[in-house]
Amino acid sequence: MSSQFLHLHVHSEFSLVDGVIRIPSLIERVTELEMPAVAVTDQCNLFSLVKFYVHARQLGIKPVIGAELWVGSSDTADIRHRALFLCRNHGGFRQLSALITRSYLEGQRRGIPGIQYSWLGPESAGGLIVLSCGINGDIGAALIDGNEKRADQLVRYWRDLFGDAFYLELTRTGREGETQANAGALRMAEQYGLPVVATNDVRFLRPNEFEAHEARVCIHDGRTLSDPRRHRNYTAQQYLRSGEEMSELFADIPQAIENTYAIAQRCNLEIDVGTYHLPIFPVLKHQTVDGELREKTLRGFDTWRSDRRAKGFDKSEEQWQAYTRRLEEELEVIISMGFSGYFLIVADFIQWAKKHDIPVGPGRGSGAGSLAAFALGITELDPLEYDLLFERFLNPERISMPDFDVDFCMDRRDEVIDYVAERYGRNKVAQIITYGTMAAKAVVRDVGRVLSFPYGFVDQLAKLIPFDPNMTLKRALNEEPLLKDRYDTEDDVRAIIDLAQSLEGLARNAGKHAGGVVIAPSALTDFMPLYCEQGSSAPVTQFDMGDVEAVGLVKFDFLGLRTLTIIHWAIDNINADASGKGGDILDFNNLKLDDSATFKLIQRAQTTAVFQLESRGMKELIKRLQPDRFEDLIALVALFRPGPLQSGMVDDYIDRKHGRAAVRYLDPKLEPILKPTYGVILYQEQVMHIAQSLAGYTLGAADLLRRAMGKKKPEEMAKQRQTFLDGCVANGIAKAIATQIFDLMEKFAGYGFNKSHSAAYALVAYQTAWLKTHYPSAFMAAVLSSDMDSTDKVVRLIEECRLIGIEVGPPDINACAYRFTVANHAKIYYGLGAVKGLGEAAIQALVAEREAGGSYRELFNLCSRNDAKKINKRAVEALIRSGALDCFGASRRGLTSIAVRAGQIAEQQARAIAVGQSDMFGLGDVSDGSADRMHHLDLEAWELAIATPEWPDKELLTWEKETLGLYLSGHPIDRYSEEINGLANCRLSNLKPGKQRRVVGLIVGVRMTKTRRGQMAVVTLDDKTARTEVTISSKVLDEHLDRIVNDKVCVVIGECTLDTFSGEHAVRAETVLSLDEARNQFARSVVLRVGSKLDKVRLESLKHSLSNCTPGGCPVLIEYTNGTATARLRLSDDWQVSISDMLLEQFYTQFGAESVSVEYT
């Protein structure tokens, strides 16, 4: 050892304000410097504790655990200084954990957590060591201010509280005030007999990382590096100096160096990694948790068996014995592994959710393979019926925590989490933290900003980085030639990218995991501190999911699944309707899984809005596979993944199902295992069954084989191969056959899917398909309500309703509610929640008043009966423009003309009521919301509104698009529908890949992006049958840019492509034409149908129109019809025209729109 110095004050990247040190790099550097220990002391958190502890231990470095906290007094809340706390033992860790937690829950000021002096007591002295934090500490600040008296008081406070565990910290990093603070600290150390310790207040590993550190600080503070106003609190000397450098720096104070060792020797916190700390399920005094599990499981199983028998689904005695044996085996494993409480906790919160009418999924993941879970009501799929394996979920030969992923209704999941917190103790339950990181695109933008480059320059650079959540700058430079070229040739680009790479991937902020919840057996602060945003009452763990599990705590996944909400809404609607008519309530939990009508709907691929089955790619697979049993749905979920689609597995399955390929088994024992999948190894459970049946593996050992095949480690695979072959040979299977079988297992193991998960999700898919088959209006109304915030989805769903014979009526203030609702079996009322400009509170108020006081009669009546603060001018305009007030009988234009007047009268009336002048307008009892006040308020204005003609169709549709996000009463393309039938050779809903297509549509979205070849566009085209993306390369874009304008009709000629996984079609444009250009390029003739007469007046009118139109190359035909024959007269070439909207409008006026057509080649 070259020097007796250790770093005790180090900030990692998890000091989200000012740290840039990655934990692995820190441990690696400490090892290089031959230091046997190091501390990580992040600001106000222990986010990195587990990662730091594990990495350090792995490389033989002693980890010293601590944190730097803000400390202040309650009477001087805005004046706080720092102190460094190091854990001597586990008691000190618990104290620090509690202090950090309290700092977030009670001590936040302007988003920065801190503790108060009063929170520290004698109990802290035995477990913590405190460093004074040099110039950033309270003593240092008092010394720099020249307040010796205050410094003296603070020294005595810390000494009296912590005794010899308090150290005065010295730094020599070139920061302002250090010399003064160090000199004062040394005087006081001598005066009070206190030890001093040297640190370097480390923020980065090497001197050349100072710029990256400063950039990170600027990113956090919203400053630029060149900003003269920004605080410069750090210097380039705050790197991880070697022991020699520190000894030389403090050669005059050797004890400050030696004390770093002394402190490290006093800090001996051991973190228990790998031992499980299971939550405690409360049971009665005379009961044990194991006994409770057994009792509830057997009772649940008996109830289910009795119910099945009562409903005519009985099994043979031999089959029931198999269930009983399986249940006993599972209970033995669960109890022996100590997981009884875990199962009971999950069952408890699921039963609570169901009791409170909160939708719960049937299961997901491998947990669906447990019969005990099924009996407890955790899952809803009989595992023996579908050959699901318990060992895939909980393997007695590989000790690991069970992991139930539970789906809840998205809107009410938080209620279940709140119940769990209340039941097991709010100090024992929390959601799990996640860390956002500095991703490639974002960090380039951040660095460009702090380096003061223009926004446009940085934006252009960031857009060169391919869009991929896992993209790195290194990969981007390899994959994007234009970015690499600019990096190599432009100094500014290189400066941005190099600095961005030094920051890329660092922790940026803290958030909350989507579904992870931890339940501890005691206070969570015994295991870790908690974190929360200022103002939040819901803290989260300071350890992320991996670290929570590493310290042995149990994670529960409370996942939100929107489909459960849809099912719930649909069933509520169905049952409400049935109750109103005296019908039977739908028993949705006992659906037969062999309903022929449901499978016919699936076979037709009418699966839009059906869970898991609605993508185009899945629909194509359904058409090929033609599922006719529930096992096929399970297979569909497993097959529709990139691996099976690309491996040939899908083709094998389909060909064998339909008899186009023979099903052969290498050994007869394979038949019962692979028969449900036509000899294809599709599921992981099948691999396990094969190992058990053919080679004599236990199912636990078979699960280890499955895992080994998934990881593909050569050494492990060689051992497993030999074990499998030996077992097969011992069971009378030839070695050559056994080798083929193992090779087959190994090949498909990489594609194999968890059948338990697939079966559970297939059940939800079947349920939604069943609802769509038997109650399509209720189902589609629920789906529309679920997706009403997404215009694109609503457009697609309304088109689906049309295809299956359901009308979606326009918004109607006197019929509609917040959500889409069912009018009858063939009609859905529009959801007012989908109208932009209306909030939920406003809609609920409108509906409540309508239900209480009757239908609204007209606009004045509506305004006068509702609170003007909720139903304001913007809300009224949205109602008018969306068509929700068409029921009043006035035009939308007329309603708009009196909207302001109606609102004013309503406000005057409200003010009058407020001051007691209820008869101001001769209204009588104004509290009666159902009274007809039209004549009292403004009859003349209302009559004017009634008489006002409507806006032109184009304007009406524009307002509809603005308020609904879509065209409902019509479509701008409707006027061209006859032309499109001739002009387009394919509608967007019928696109097929491969051939050149000519499509026509309205441009409803344009997205420009940069590629290595220049700018390209992605255009969303809508022809009313569907919406499709059109990609336009830079070359085509340059030639046709002026045609690409939102809300314009265009014609695209190009090739259709297909994403084989998503199933989404797109068009790669070769030519983009305006409608008029396409008309004149492809029109064969303009036909004018004149009937049996062409009088002189009409002839002169036609002649005048043709004389004044733009000459072109399209012939004009006159079609003459009498009672028995039709003849066409082609006008001479002198009268050929250039087709345009203006010309056609003239012809429509002269001959009627139905008598004018354009015929195309």
DSSP 291-340: HHHHHHHHHHHHHHHHHHHHTT----HHHHHHHHHHHHHHHHHHHHTT-H
Give 446's contacts (C-beta < 8 A, 6+ positions apart): 215, 219, 438, 500, 503
Do residues 1075 and 1050 make contact, with C-beta atoms less than 8 angstroms apart?
Answer: yes
Buried-state track 161-175, b at ≥16 Cβ within 10 A, e below 16: bbeebbbbbbbbbeb
Range name among 259-273, 282-296, 375-389, 581-595 with the lowest pLDDT average: 581-595
Average pLDDT rounded to a whole number, residues 341-360 = 95
What was the pLDDT predicted at 929?
Answer: 43
What was the pLDDT predicted at 1033?
Answer: 86
Name the class of domain 289-434+513-562. Answer: alpha beta
Classify 804 as helix, strand or coil: coil
What was the pLDDT predicted at 1006?
Answer: 86
Do residues 473 and 444 make contact, with C-beta atoms less than 8 angstroms apart?
Answer: yes
How far is 952 from 1084, CA to CA, in rounded Å?
31
- Which pLDDT band, with edges at 50, 70 and 90, does 1010 fall under? low
Average pLDDT rounded to a whole number, residues 526-544 = 91
Please state the domain extents for the chain: 23-266, 289-434+513-562, 439-504, 642-752, 851-969, 974-1080, 1082-1160
What was the pLDDT predicted at 297?
Answer: 97
Terminal CA-CA length for the chain: 89
What count of residues does the chain have?
1161
Dihedral sign of CA atoms 858, 861, 864, 870 in order: negative
Do residues 782 and 767 make contact, with C-beta atoms less than 8 angstroms apart?
Answer: no
Q: Tell me the whole-structure pTM to 2 decimals.
A: 0.83
Give 208's contacts (C-beta < 8 A, 6+ positions apart): none
Reported as type and span, the H/E element at residue 1129 is strand 1126-1130
Give 1149's contacts (C-beta < 8 A, 6+ positions apart): none
Which tokens go with 875? Answer: 């809300």
Range name among 5-19, 123-137, 1109-1123 with the lowest pLDDT average: 1109-1123
Percent of residues in the chain assigned helix, strand, coil, to nearest 5: 50, 15, 35
Do residues 350 and 406 make contact, with C-beta atoms less than 8 angstroms apart?
Answer: yes
Do residues 895 and 862 make contact, with C-beta atoms less than 8 angstroms apart?
Answer: no
Higher pLDDT, 590 or 685: 685
Do residues 642 and 834 make contact, with C-beta atoms less than 8 angstroms apart?
Answer: no
How far is 837 from 963, CA to CA, in rounded Å?
7
Which tokens go with 593? Answer: 């899984």
| Residue entry with tokens 């209340």 | 422
What was the pLDDT predicted at 315?
Answer: 85
What was the pLDDT predicted at 672?
Answer: 93
How far is 1049 from 1075, CA to CA, in rounded Å?
6
- Which pLDDT band, with edges at 50, 70 and 90, does 1059 fall under? low
How far is 415 from 859, CA to CA, in rounded Å?
40
CA angle, residues 70, 548, 91, in degrees to nearest 5: 55
Query: What mean pLDDT, rounded, does the chain reach?
Result: 89
CB atoms within 10 A of CB 1095: 9
What share of the chain has pLDDT > 70, as a percent? 96
How far is 638 from 657, CA to CA, in rounded Å?
16
How far is 543 from 1084, CA to CA, in rounded Å?
72
Do residues 1122 and 1084 make contact, with C-beta atoms less than 8 angstroms apart?
Answer: no
pLDDT tens-digit profile of 735-791? 999 999 999 888 887 788 889 999 999 999 999 999 999 999 999 999 999 999 888
Buried-state track 724-739, b at ≥16 Cβ within 10 A, e below 16: bbebbeeeebeeeebe
How far is 653 from 195, CA to CA, in rounded Å?
76
Which tokens go with 635? Answer: 């297979």
Dihedral sign of CA atoms 651, 657, 663, 666 in order: positive
Give 1020's contacts (C-beta < 8 A, 6+ positions apart): 1003, 1004, 1005, 1006, 1027, 1028, 1029, 1030
Give bridge partners of residue 10 from the DSSP assignment: 202
Classify 556 as helix, strand or coil: strand
> Could you tell me which CATH number the domain at 439-504 has?
1.10.10.1600
Do residues 67 and 44 make contact, with C-beta atoms less than 8 angstroms apart?
Answer: yes
969: burial class by Cβ within 10 Å (0-12, 13-18, 19+)? middle
Do residues 132 and 167 make contact, with C-beta atoms less than 8 angstroms apart?
Answer: yes
CB atoms within 10 A of CB 414: 14
How far is 653 from 627, CA to CA, in rounded Å?
12
- Which pLDDT band, with edges at 50, 70 and 90, does 924 fall under? very low
Q: Give which of 1092, 1081, 1103 is closest to 1147, Cα–Cα.
A: 1103
What was the pLDDT predicted at 1035?
Answer: 85
pLDDT above 50 (res 923): no
Give bridge partners of residue 512 from the DSSP assignment: 433
How far is 46 from 40, CA to CA, in rounded Å?
9
Q: Give which of 598, 567, 615 is closest to 1059, Cα–Cα.
A: 615
Q: Give which of 213, 254, 262 is closest to 86, Cα–Cα.
A: 262
Do residues 177 and 233 make contact, with C-beta atoms less than 8 angstroms apart?
Answer: no
- Which pLDDT band, with edges at 50, 70 and 90, does 1093 fall under? low
Average pLDDT rounded to a whole number, residues 36-62 = 97
Average pLDDT rounded to a whole number, residues 323-329 = 96
pLDDT tens-digit profile of 419-464? 999 999 999 999 999 999 999 999 999 999 999 999 889 988 998 8
Tally: H helices and E strands in the chain? 46, 27
Q: Reply yes or no on domain 23-266 having CATH 3.40.50.10130.
A: no
| CA distance readout (Å), 110 to 78, 98, 161, 538 | 9, 21, 29, 18
Average pLDDT rounded to a whole number, residues 126-150 = 95
Range ranked top by mean pLDDT from 60-69, 671-680, 746-755: 60-69
> Could you tell me which CATH number the domain at 974-1080 has?
2.40.50.140
pLDDT above 90 (res 869): no
The three-state (H, E, C) secondary structure of 881-924, written as one string: HHCCCHHHCCCHHHHHHHHHHHHHHHHHHHHHHHCCCCCCCCCC
Classify 382 as helix, strand or coil: coil
| CA distance readout (Å), 783 to 439, 550, 825, 836, 964 | 34, 40, 15, 18, 17
CA angle, residues 50, 52, 57, in degrees to nearest 5: 95
Classify 413 as helix, strand or coil: helix
What was the pLDDT predicted at 1063?
Answer: 62
Dihedral sign of CA atoms 372, 378, 382, 388 in order: negative
How far is 1043 from 434, CA to CA, in rounded Å?
46
pLDDT above 50 (res 972): yes
pLDDT tens-digit profile of 1134-1151? 888 888 888 888 888 888
CB atoms within 10 A of CB 469: 6
pLDDT tens-digit profile of 925-960? 444 443 444 444 467 788 888 888 888 888 888 888
pLDDT above 70 (res 833): yes
What share of the chain has pLDDT > 90, as a percent? 60
